[in-house]
Amino acid sequence: MKVIVVTGASSGIGLAMTQYFCQKGHHVYGISRTKMYEKNVRSIQADVTDYKQLKQAYEDIYEVEGKIDVLINNAGMGISGSVEDTSYEDAAYLMNVNFMGVFNSTKAMIPLLRKSGGGKILNMSSVAARLGIPFQAFYSSSKAAINAFSEALNIELHPFKIQVCSIMPGDIKTGFTKNRKKNEVDSVFYKKRVDKSVSVMEEDERNGMDPEYAAKVVLKLIERKRIPLYKTIGFKYKIFVLLHKFLPAKLANNVVGMIYGFKKEK
């Protein structure tokens, strides 16, 4: 039995993970801004943008359990639209949730994992971290930042037997699609391309992997003695990441542009 803490646990892949881990007999704490009412899931209301809330929540968990084994930084959001038409406030808020939220959560948890004798930190990134997606620039940027953060963090925490993994799922069927924030205005220079691009993304997501499949992959990581620095979820997405690694950067960028960019659209 492991003590597992999951942020962004009230919906999507976060909810699927908490439900599945509980079914397998683990003690799971779901962190979310809204109260959860899931059987066997220990729900704690906290916002990942508030370090003090998280610190208190994690210390309370440690006091009850006497240890914490795994932190899954899953909370996140998306914005669609062109860079030019995205407001500073929306971009800053996304980075605050997606990246600074991971920092807040990790900073609050490290002392408790160290006191527990080690553990795992799993940061939910995305294939979009490797492939910069047009009209999703801030989401891709935040996930790329998580990858770099995870690499550095893994080295820093090695002496404390705390392992770090950046998980990169492909498209998953969740509420993330309908909850994605869209720019209030897309100018005439981008609107047609944005609409086409977002419709492709949303169709891919609606036909994506079941979130429980992702939960099963994550649990296998939790149960492993040693974990990789990166884990891509979804066979075809593993191919995308592999091709990106070996193709010239410009060619890989052009391929993404053909899929999502509609560069010839006037």
pLDDT in tens, 6-54: 999 998 899 999 999 999 999 999 999 988 877 788 999 999 999 999 9
Residue with tokens 């210390």: 59
Q: Give the global pTM.
A: 0.91
- Confidence grade of residue 204 (pLDDT, cut at 50, 70, 90): confident
User: Which CATH fold topology does 3-261 show?
Assistant: Rossmann fold (3.40.50)
- The answer to whether 211 touches 172, Cβ cutoff 8 Å, is yes
Query: How far is it, in rounded angstroms, from Cα 112 to Cα 32?
Result: 20
Strand segments, DSSP code E, in the chain are: 3-7, 27-32, 42-45, 70-73, 79-80, 119-124, 162-169, 181-182, 230-233
Q: Enumerate residues 6+ apart whose C-beta is below 8 A from 212.
A: 16, 19, 20
pLDDT over 60 (residue 266): no
- Confidence grade of residue 260 (pLDDT, cut at 50, 70, 90): confident
How many Cβ atoms are within 10 Å of 219's Cβ, its own excluded? 19
Most confident of 36-45, 143-152, 182-191: 143-152
| Residues assigned a catalytic role | 10, 125, 139, 143
Retrieve residue 114's tokens: 């160290």
Residue with tokens 């930190």: 121
Chain centroid to CA 111: how far? 22
Picking from 110-114, 121-125, 145-149, 184-188, which range would have the lowest pLDDT averaged per residue? 184-188
- Confidence grade of residue 198 (pLDDT, cut at 50, 70, 90): confident
Q: Summarize pLDDT for 76-133 with one digit per residue, the tens.
A: 999 999 999 999 999 999 999 999 999 999 999 999 999 999 999 999 999 999 999 9
Q: Which residue has the higher pLDDT, 244 or 132?
A: 132
